[in-house]
Structure 1
């Protein structure tokens, strides 16, 4: 049994017993009981070994054969963005919410009628999954809302559409400059065409809909509850706006939050890397080398297919996306933040974008060597095996958006890239073979927070229709579990306090109604989260109070 020293106080506050404990600790991978005191793990072992740590005041949680694991870690999410877009000011039209195109259009029209002159913002437009959506050009947007502001966000978060009334309301015009790393769509004469691409241009369309300072705590607390329901105890905010620090401080987190501030024109943060505590801390800086595959702006060495789908997206024949930054701009961002001690995380989907980042970061690491930098490539949809090997040689890690395979797997092969590139997407097998320490994420609100589905996808590589995509890229259940727990915590510089069930770490747990190692891999996504615990406190239960205890 692993336990703390004998000189410490003896009895536990909480004991979990009579279950299957998957620790994610290679030195003690399995146990059947865990003891917790003051929010920390004090012993891991058999029921008989843990029993002496209990007295009449100890809370006993009888697992009844269920599975206890470290709480899941979401290493690339958007806490504040999802809190906003799933909050009261925005209408949810995501494919997960409204699958049919006609229903999406009806929902937008109903939202315009309901919200009127106060402006309407809808999130989740996705013509690849909601087949049959109209082309959201300025004429169509103005026909839907001729007199009131209307903004529609694409499900990817990398594109927004706005009508003429919204442009006036937002102060956007022909003379509005494109922000760094972003742009507005324009007609031949330079007039705005109602489209905004990438974070800073999209953000310029959203600010009137943002919660007021006094409203932020409630919408953030609702987001924490959504994460806990999925079994998540640690998450990241990958496009954190420093202006929201007071709002975050006023909320009541029931997850550990790790923020990545957006790189901006001022090229610096107003805090240092030694900020925060074990619950809330900023650990890095985020930037975007390219965009989203679903809107045609990832930087690849190969073209998109030319077909009705890509034409409907507005892509010319043999279209290839482009990077958001030049190598010189990306170098300037790195030199502004990395020598100051920050971890860097860069969104890079296309293989050309990955090459650019590896080139820039390789020179950055040579100029400013650091033993433990954990530089991150995020999403890496079309990253090649040789690029994973190159990243491993530089000590660079990757977090993979493996859930793309489920929702968009058929689209990737049939509509966008063909079998050669579309099937070989999110190549977790190649990443592990190259020696990378990887994680999985959902990029919420792009897809729902569903760590168990990520594990299913990494092990099966099944699209929603049941097609298997590049089976040679499958990984084992144990590897996938690590990617959603301890290795994800490591990427967030939180593996010293969470991500595995070991003495001294926080009691951050998820209780599952099944063991992911023993069910059909295709059914791992169907396992239910029974409870979530943070620092020894139950923050979510599927059952009535007391129902899971004895």
Structure 2
């Protein structure tokens, strides 16, 4: 087969043995050489494609924690604080007061199909002063049509009186149903057990919807636009229908990314989940990888649902919500570890980190297993002693660097205070301890954009411009590795992707500017194109 050669202004390989290259030579979808034109000719006939001659090439970005929900959620009304762009390119303006939120809901209500609930998403109550969004404020839009508002973190929802009545929420004794002192439901439901009362009543399954072909295509297009060539869906039902849909869609020649879905462990009894995951693994191919399990333990700090150790939250009493009893998570870790699968565990608060480290420690003691790469996800508030334990357990981290920008100001002034904000998203400490780590966006919680994520880890600036935890800033090279090879390692895919070196797939991000040039902010570098297996994805 003919060798295709892509000359470029600069090639950053992420391969320490050959950090830079001259020309990217591709054969059979894999990197053949990064040497000169003359060196590439030694392999045989060469076709030169100079369309990227003035661009910078580097490994395609790996988004190690995001959700295919990004391709489906835009069917609903966006109520977020920040401006956002949908996968189709539509710009949605952020909403800065409750009146604007009510007005956008009223607009949606006017277009709603009779008999359907009105669903919105992206609301972030931590930014709103005054009255907290509750059933009363939603009832002013309608107290007869069910209204469901998912919060930005996807860990909380607010509903109106119609939903409370129709789903019989007031009669349920479940953690996460927020009530007044007298027991009256206020309309806020925290974490999955409480929110499933609503999902089950109205037949809502966002994650099953996200596994359907058009949602997957939308998700992939959004990823490609940001230079991503490998994307995760880190909470997938992995039903037979979802697996079949993901297989057929990713097999389409035009599908521009590789997809890594994770089994939602809380959706299955452990034995059944293992069987389902093993069955799904027989359906994988070069653009679809099964084998990881997702546990969602606590919630989100900005929603006050993450589990924190002393001194807890700065401005409220109480301490978050577990999505299941800690012993349940403990048992699941033991089961899936013994079964040979890789665990990706949501741990926002330091108490959740502690509980899951205990579980991993016991699992590895009972069933020693090398190269397991179990990964703690988010770890926003992980402590230094906990980082040391991660290192000792040979576990990995995937750190939610975008959180610094979107919620850093809030954590400084309201939820955590000064000292704990200095260790928020501790990428430099992870790097100093030589822990394998990636950084991520958790889309649709924050937008897909690995270069913005790298910028957050490098500069550590909040939305207001404040810098939090300067000692935890990482340099550009380390930040770029975290969105390529580091993230690939957390997915057990670094033998295929994450760097440009002979034998690996020729998955490439084509950049307008040099990401190692300190004069240009990482977030401002344009994405020109991507290649998947050496082929332009927009061809």
Q: 1:263 aligns with which of 241, 256, 265?
A: 265
Q: Distance in 1 between matches of 2:225 and 2:413?
A: 34
Structure 1, 114-123 or 211-220: larger mean CA deviation: 211-220
Among residues 285, 301, 322, which one is paired with 1:293 in the alignment? 301
Q: Secondary structure at the match of 2:417?
A: helix
- Say yes or no: does 1:430 pair with 2:429: yes
How far, CA to CA, are the matches of 2:529 and 2:59 in structure 1? 12
Q: How far apart are the structure 2 equivalents of 1:261 and 1:200?
A: 18
- Check whether the contact 1:19–1:33 (CA below 8 A) recurs between aligned residues: no
1:140: Cα distance to partner? 2.0
Partners of 2:229 and 2:139 lie apart in 1 by 43
* 2:156 equivalent in structure 1: 159
Distance (whole Å) between structure 2 residues aligned to residue 386 and residue 106 of structure 1: 48
Shift of 1:190: 6.1
Query: Where does residue 390 of structure 1 map in the other structure?
Result: 389
Aligned runs of 1:460-471 on 2, under 5 Å?
Answer: 460-471=459-470
Residue 63 of structure 1 corresponds to: 52
Matched, 1:447 2:446: yes
2:132 maps to what in 1? 135
Q: What does residue 30 of structure 1 align with?
A: 20
- How much has 1:200 moved relative to structure 2? 4.6
Q: 2:236 aligns with which of 235, 240, 243?
A: 240
Residue 426 of structure 1, CA deviation: 0.4
- 1:48-87 to structure 2, matched below 5 A, reads 48-50=38-40, 58=47, 60-79=49-68, 81-86=69-74
Q: Residue 387 of structure 1: CA displacement?
A: 0.9
Q: CA deviation at 1:397?
A: 0.8
The equivalent position to 1:184 in structure 2, one of 177, 199, 214, is: 177
Consecutive unaligned residues in structure 2, runs of 5 or more: 84-93
Separation (CA, whole Å) in 1 of partners of 2:299 and 2:78: 22
Residue 354 of structure 1 corresponds to: 353
**Contact 2:334 / 2:360 at 8 angstroms: preserved in 1?**
no
d(CA) in 2 for partners of 1:233 and 1:333? 31
Indicate the residue corresponding to 1:226 in structure 2. Answer: 222
The 3-state SS of whatever aligns with 2:461 is: coil
Where in structure 2 are the equivalents of 1:460-499 lying within 5 Å?
460-499=459-498
CA distance in 2, matches of 1:149, 1:293: 28
Q: Distance in 1 between matches of 2:95 and 2:226?
A: 22
Quote the Cα distance in structure 2 between the aligned partners of 1:203 and 1:237.
20
More deviation in 387-396 or 207-216? 207-216
1:47 equivalent in alignment to 2:44 = no
Deviation at 1:392, TM superposition (A): 0.3
Post-superposition shift, 1:128? Answer: 2.7
Deviation at 1:226, TM superposition (A): 0.2
Q: For the residues of structure 2 that align with 1:495 and 1:356, how far apart are their CA atoms?
A: 29
For residue 191 of structure 2, what is the aligned residue in structure 1? 198
Task: Please name the residue that 2:88 is paired with.
Answer: none
Q: What is the CA-CA distance between 1:51 and the residue it aligns to? A: 5.0
Look up the match of 1:251: 249
Look up the match of 2:89: none
Residues of 2 paired with 1:199 and 1:320: CA distance?
16
Q: Does structure 1 retain, via aligned residues, the 8 Å contact 2:238–2:277? A: no
* CA deviations over 1:397-450 (Å, ceiling 9, x no partner): 110001111121211111221111123210111111122111000000000011
* CA–CA distance in structure 1, aligned partners of residues 130 and 261 of structure 2: 35
Q: Distance in 2 between matches of 1:331 and 1:94?
A: 35
Once the two structures are TM-superposed, the CA of residue 350 in structure 1 deviates from its matched residue by 1.2
Q: 424-433 or 67-76, which moves further after superposition?
A: 424-433
> What TM-score do you get using the length of structure 2 for normalisation?
0.89
Determine the C-alpha separation between the residues in 1 that align with 2:108 and 2:472. Answer: 43
Task: Tell me the equivalent position of 1:4.
Answer: none
Query: Do the aligned partners of 2:102 and 2:141 also contact (CA within 8 Å) in 1?
Result: no
Q: Is the 8 A contact 2:277 2:291 kept in 1?
A: no
In structure 1, the residue matched to 2:91 is: none
Matched, 1:94 2:97: no
SS of aligned partner of 2:377: strand
Contact 2:209–2:215 (Cα < 8 Å) also in 1: no
**CA deviation after TM superposition for structure 1 residue 103, in Å:** 2.9
Rounded Cα–Cα distance in structure 1 between residues aligned with 2:528 and 2:219: 18
Q: Match of 2:112, SS?
A: helix
Q: Offset of 1:193 from its aligned partner?
A: 3.9
Instruction: Return closer, same or farther for 1:538/1:203 CA change in 2, 3 Å cut-off.
Output: farther
Q: SS of the counterpart of 1:281?
A: coil
How far is 1:245 from its partner?
Answer: 1.9
1:106 to 99, 103, 106: 103
CA distance in 2: counterparts of 1:110 and 1:75, whole angstroms = 36
Q: CA deviation at 1:261?
A: 0.9
Size of the alignment, in residue pairs?
A: 511
Q: What SS class does the counterpart of residue 514 from structure 1 fall into?
A: coil
Q: CA RMSD in A?
A: 2.4
User: How far did 1:20 drift?
Assistant: 0.7
- Deviation (angstroms), 1:175: 4.5
Q: Distance in 1 between matches of 2:109 and 2:517?
A: 49
Question: In the alignment, which residue of structure 1 is the partner of 2:290?
Answer: 282
CA displacement 1:301-360 (0-9 Å, x = unmatched): 222222xxxxxxxx44xx433544444222211123221111111111111111111111
User: What are the superposed Cα offsets for residues 226-248 of structure 1, whole Å, 9 maximum, x if unpaired?
Assistant: 01101111111111112222332
Q: Aligned with 1:144: secondary structure?
A: coil
Match of 1:337 in 2: 336
1:303 aligns with 2:312: yes
Q: Deviations over 1:56-96 (max 9, x none)?
A: 8x3603323321011100101111x222212x2x1122223
- Structure 2 counterparts to residues 409-424 of structure 1, below 5 A: 409-424=408-423
Is the Cα–Cα contact under 8 Å of residues 121 and 209 in structure 1 kept in the other structure? no
Cα distance in 1 for residues equivalent to 2:34 and 2:13:
9
